[in-house]
Structure 1
């Protein structure tokens, strides 16, 4: 009887594996949910919708974007990590490491299945159009004189991917970031609205995300934390033009799935993202809006994720957030 049960169990497992393999080979045969852990109107949402539209054309099934911006994005990337690994829930992953160090969830590279990176944008510092600040150097000077005098919007939770890049610059310029006034928001789009309304004095986000408000004359971009000026925004100074210590920093965006996503599905999605990334239409959509193009396959993305975690810990230790 015992041998029979062992045989039956093994047979059942074999059938389950066969069904799983068959399901993966037939994927997708129904709509796919694409989780975006950011609000509508920001860069993560915009680039995700372009990618989703092209994935739908590629596979012939809807890729439905679902925004989950609660908690500065923690709700969405946690939902992605906990999803069933059947290929019908994937999502856009971005700088996730701060959440773990802030005690908001134990999210690491093991929490996801990397698929492919398609974007990297440098952080920038924005102010309201009538702000007295004319440069990043002005902001640093003011913070040195009175650390509590400037409300700094993080463009998400604090510290966020955007504000962490600024934090590194402030630390390198001798400012104790633990005593500054950091203000969270539900994403870059919400943060920009708060900036225009006067709720914060300075906001960290990418330049493309602020483009419409720049064009409308509602905000000004003081500097971008890039090695040089962005081709799409040549009037925005690189931070190194204004301050001595201004290390580049910003946000990556990539397609990822929950842990355990079958390799057959990862193969299909990785190949699709690479094809879409190299297409003239996707390159034009990204370029016209000024979004940075950067591709990494699954292995390259995994390596970058580990680097991102190490760099984030270094910054947050300096901020006193990690003991």
Structure 2
């Protein structure tokens, strides 16, 4: 006799709220995007999302919980490029690119290097000149050791031949507060984390890490590192992932619902208001991107010496 329970479960899915793990603190870029997904979920997924912030260890605490969750569609989460970076730095509980399966890419974004408005630096060269005259004075904030903000900051310092002391935080909001309080002098964060403070003039962005400038009006005048003569080109992304082994029917419902949600004009408008841009990819294209980006990042952290430096800092 054929067991119909799996099919019955899939047909009823989802019949209860879905836990949504955010591996960083409240108020950061990943959290802000998660809150937008939360608003749209009942319409497009048929159930509400229950956001659970699990900050710590550069995202790995949250991704450990996500990777170890039951693959029934009732626990999913948000992931950034750090998902690929963290396994490069030493043993982790899971190898996230293979322990998780991608469902959808939401956005692709540059990192932004920003300082307080009171600082005399108007561009990257000004900051470098100051750092050389005042060695050891400049600290840069980011959202976790070995994360993309940390990598971008270390890569910039190496190329510029200056010393910047890194200071990790559990969210972009914490790093921004520290910058405003004068505890760090520079941050490498995603544009959503600092958009309002940049818009109000409290912060000024000196460079973005993408191949092109950002299209958001708040950032259109900010040049890329590449334009200023520095080969610092890194894009972050936010994707939605689930534990490996979802039943095909459950995965199909999630993928279809997320695709419609992410491409909805209202959701797109809300994302753009954060200073981000929709860059949807489905599971197949996203899996290929994970593989390509993992190869590129492995090469970068090894060739620049960042890998050894970060391993030392994590001990």
TM-score past 0.5 threshold: yes
SS of residue in 2 equivalent to 1:66 = strand
Aligned match of 1:255: 240
Aligned match of 2:191: 207
Structure 1 residues 25 and 108: CA distance shift in structure 2, 3 A? same
Residues 125 and 136, structure 1, Cα contact 8 Å, conserved in 2? no
Displacement of 1:175: 3.2
Aligned match of 1:314: 299
Picking from 292, 301, 308, the partner of 2:277 is 292
Picking from 250, 268, 273, the partner of 2:253 is 268
Unpaired runs of 5+ in structure 1? 1-10
Aligned match of 1:65: 51
Structure 1 residues 197 and 185: CA distance shift in structure 2, 3 A? same
Displacement of 1:34: 0.6
Measured on the aligned residues, the alpha-carbon RMSD in Å equals: 2.2
- CA distance in 2: counterparts of 1:144 and 1:19, whole angstroms: 67
Residues 21 and 78, structure 2, Cα contact 8 Å, conserved in 1? yes
Residues 33 and 66, structure 1, Cα contact 8 Å, conserved in 2? yes
Structure 1 residues 103 and 143: CA distance shift in structure 2, 3 A? farther
Do structure 1's residue 149 and structure 2's residue 133 form an aligned pair? no
Aligned match of 2:10: 24
Structure 1 residues 255 and 239: CA distance shift in structure 2, 3 A? same
Displacement of 1:228: 3.0
Displacement of 1:125: 0.3
Picking from 123, 127, 130, the partner of 2:111 is 123
Aligned residues: 304
TM-score (norm 1): 0.86
Do structure 1's residue 197 and structure 2's residue 190 form an aligned pair? no
Aligned match of 1:245: 230
Do structure 1's residue 139 and structure 2's residue 136 form an aligned pair? no
SS of residue in 2 equivalent to 1:238 = coil
Displacement of 1:174: 5.3
SS of residue in 1 equivalent to 2:244 = coil
Aligned match of 1:7: none
Aligned match of 2:90: 103
Residues 81 and 112, structure 1, Cα contact 8 Å, conserved in 2? yes
Do structure 1's residue 92 and structure 2's residue 85 form an aligned pair? no
TM-score (norm 2): 0.88
Q: Trace 1:41-56 onto structure 2 (pairs within 5 A).
A: 41-56=27-42
Structure 1 residues 42 and 29: CA distance shift in structure 2, 3 A? same
- CA distance in 1: counterparts of 2:223 and 2:25, whole angstroms: 28
SS of residue in 1 equivalent to 2:10 = helix
Residues 74 and 104, structure 1, Cα contact 8 Å, conserved in 2? no
